[in-house]
A and B are shown apart, each in its own frame.
Chain A
């Protein structure tokens, strides 16, 4: 019996060593990846960001100005709409500073907030506070608190000029994309990741994808191509074409933002790779969800922008009310593929398909319900 035990131990040790030298435990990696996908395929549930508080009492007479990155893209419009709806429920003044992606307009917004005695300036949808250093410093001297919404990844620290941040979980989105490619290629992903390093959160996001893929399969191939936002239309198609032509084994393109897909699809069509090379991404932009329905995009991780708006307002109110800043991500990431994409609407919208658990959740948390 003791002999038998030592043999079995040796066999187990040999098996471990063998797995360690060839490939990692495929079954474990596959199970891990499938579990991550299953978690984010379930209808989103409300994640409680902190202790309940009397929002109406605390926010009485308070004024918040939100300056979005731009109102010329629907993402900015819908996020601001979600924030405005949440603010209206609580009953405080919330203004959006309309602009067209111009730094002078952002500066003007900060000046207006100072001149009109606002309590909070929120930089929403990606404005880097470091671009407005002197203006934000002046605002803070005037007693205004500064927040950011949907700028930083959960792994990133905000700069000192910011009092609170409602972050996005790009890191988890990256892991989900890696898991998707791993599972759908049966453990043989050969991916091209397209990042935009001029967007602050792009780096941790692409790093997360690469790290997760390396963890699942160290031998799998992942190439990162960096294309700044202003050059998407002129560079993405050419870059993807070249990547697919130089390596015919590529089986997934993983753009960090799903709007990049419109330039990837023609590259795949022209190289005759449509179908063989698939696209998966993050953001839940309606036209990309429509592309899933049409069969040109494989998967898109979405987040409800109204949910994100409510979460941002929760974060801002906790900052104003001197409550602890919630740490982590509170906007669920939800996987859309051909099986469930019609729940997002036909044509798709920014908020359908995610359920409305956040409405009752936040109302209870803010003590709005009788």
Chain B
């Protein structure tokens, strides 16, 4: 999926530590720290306050979870463009069931997660049974889901989602940071463990590196890809649960704009921790690197368009530098 000739995650050379590789692994983290130091020296009172970090950490959990959702198919060599649609569907189902139909919030969340699994299964069915490229299938299914959302919501924004959910997402805190941050972090840690230390996780990585080779080695490639789509749907729905808890409402359109930032974070994350490979911890670092830059610039009084300049610029420059380190080997996103 990513750079097939990239070094493996832990690649010390025979003679000792590969400094170049280690520098690449931690370059984004160092850049992140430099950002913090830079903004901190400019705004020591406001930027370096715990309140400021708590706000940065707490506010990006939806994006982190959505990025982790699309990371699974990316790892197995597929694109999932329906992730943001599933997020919005999930939030809207919770709003409709909880606010309009007076369901308790927990069963509403379970229905939302099941809907995510269903959309993932539909993606898997069309991509794998009919052998259609995942880009086409997930674009189509995502657009279909957008239509379903407009239909079931009658294009309305619905507010008034249970304060229990809002409480468990952003009002309750640990060390001053809303719980949503820890959910996202926990999910990233679980995915990291699965990829690094479990057989299904390693299989998914092999499938992403080369489907034919995996098949010849006895891996059930279809099952691995199907699982990645379904779990992607469930995790995207979980992002929707957090989105509903974050805003206390659901609207049929706005969450869709999170798709491109999620892909940007996934690609930026692939330049760090395990360079050349989509990886959960790298994605988390990427999201918080970006939000630190954006928060600092906005606190300095920069206009909103500067956020786009930083977001786009950081992504392209980081990936370009990463490519320079690996001597501009061609990337394969087939």
Interface residues of A (CB under 8 A from B): 71-74, 77, 223, 225-228, 230-235, 237-239, 241-243, 245-248, 259, 262-263, 265-267, 269-272, 285-288, 290-291, 294, 296, 347
Give B195-213 interface residues, CB cut-off 8 Å to A: none
Q: What are 29 sample pairs from A and B whose C-beta atoms fall under 8 A apart?
A: A72-B155, A72-B253, A74-B154, A225-B304, A231-B304, A232-B254, A233-B254, A233-B256, A233-B257, A233-B258, A234-B261, A238-B59, A238-B291, A241-B56, A241-B295, A242-B299, A243-B298, A245-B51, A245-B52, A245-B55, A245-B295, A262-B248, A263-B247, A267-B59, A269-B171, A270-B178, A285-B157, A291-B160, A296-B248
B156 adjacent to chain A (CB < 8 Å): yes
Contact in complex: B291, A245 (CB < 8 Å): no
Q: How far is the CA of A226 from the CA of B303 in the complex (A)?
A: 7
Contact, CB under 8 Å: A291 / B159: yes
Asked if A259 contacts B307 (CB within 8 A), the reply is no
In the bound complex, residues from chain B placing their C-beta under 8 Å from that of A247 are 46
Complex Cα–Cα for A347 and B47 (A): 40
Chain A residue numbers with a CB within 8 Å of B52 are: 245
Whether B49 and A245, one on each chain, are in contact in the complex, defined by CB atoms closer than 8 angstroms, is yes
Contact of A266 among B170, B291, B305 (CB under 8 A): B170
Give the residues in chain A near B301, CB-CB below 8 Å. 223, 246
The reply to whether B154 and A245 contact each other, CB–CB distance below 8 Å, is: no
- The distance in angstroms between the C-alpha atoms of A223 and B303, with both chains bound, is 11
Q: How large is the interface on B (under 10, 10 to 19, 20 to 34, 35 or more residues)?
A: 35 or more
CA distance A234 to B298 in the complex (A): 13
Which residues of B sit under 8 angstroms from A239, Cβ to Cβ? 298, 304
In angstroms, Cα B51 to Cα A110, docked, is: 53
In the complex, which residues of chain A have a beta carbon less than 8 angstroms from the beta carbon of B58?
A: 270
In the complex with contacts A245-B51, A245-B299, A266-B59, A74-B257 CB distance below 8 A = no
Q: How far is the CA of A269 from the CA of B160 in the complex (A)?
A: 15
**Distance from B182 Cβ to chain A, minimum over Cβ atoms (Å):** 14
| B51, B59, B159: the one within 8 Å of A272 (CB) | B51
**Does the CB pair A230–B257 fall under 8 Å?**
yes
Which single residue of chain A is at the shortest CB-CB distance from B171? A269
B:244-282 near A, CB below 8 Å = 246-249, 251-258, 261
A74/B156 contact (C-beta < 8 A), A265-B247, A270-B55 known: yes
Asked if B158 CB lies within 8 Å of chain A CBs, one says yes
- Does A259 contact B251, Cβ atoms closer than 8 Å? yes
Would you call B46 and A294 a contact (CB within 8 A)?
A: no
Rounded to whole angstroms, the CA-CA distance of A227 and B254 in the bound complex is: 13
Interface contact B247-A290, CB-CB below 8 Å: no
Closest Cβ neighbor of B250 among chain A residues: A262
A263 CB contacts on chain B under 8 angstroms: 247, 254
Query: Measured between C-beta atoms, what is the minimum distance from B51 to chain A in Å?
Result: 6
